[in-house]
Structure 1
Amino acid sequence: DTPHQIHDYVIYQMHEQVLMERYENNKALIQEKLAKIIPLINLSGQWSVDIMQNGDEFYIIDMALAYNSALNNCVSKEKLRTVKEDWIPRLPE
């Protein structure tokens, strides 16, 4: 409800059709590329991956555990799985 959020929403509405067309036109390409990259990264659990398009190029700009993602409310709770995070390194004895 802030002026900043209202401004962002108005700008989004003005460009929504073009943005959705770009999304639909590139969705399969992004899924294909991610399917090749993700197995090479040693991660477990579900992840949310944010992709930015700049012209014809695409960049991964953010990743988070899906359960902790800012937009996790857009995914049904039945699909989200919590993952126990263990960030404590194990030192050799």
Structure 2
Amino acid sequence: MEKLSIRIKVADREYGIKTLPDEEIFLREAGKLIREQIQKYRDLGVKDTQDILAMIALDCLVARLKGDEQTRRLQKMVFDKMTQLDQTITPTLSA
């Protein structure tokens, strides 16, 4: 698959990125979300772009860690339920 050349604006700079066509929408959405977060922090009175980007990076990683933990809990819940069902069904199948 051929890569596309796109430009994404982050803070005060534009970046040229080569991406697969099916990833372009995610890059553009990420750029939009970053711009929105920058505006949120500017509205809160944070002026320094580096400080704003650092806060956005922290926000993103905290959200990622929370999502990873939620995924682990859901996987464990599914595994536990499958184990319970297996323990219920196996004796019936053996009989």
- Point out the structure with the larger helix share: 2
TM-score by length of 2: 0.25
Larger radius of gyration: 2
TM-score (norm 1): 0.26
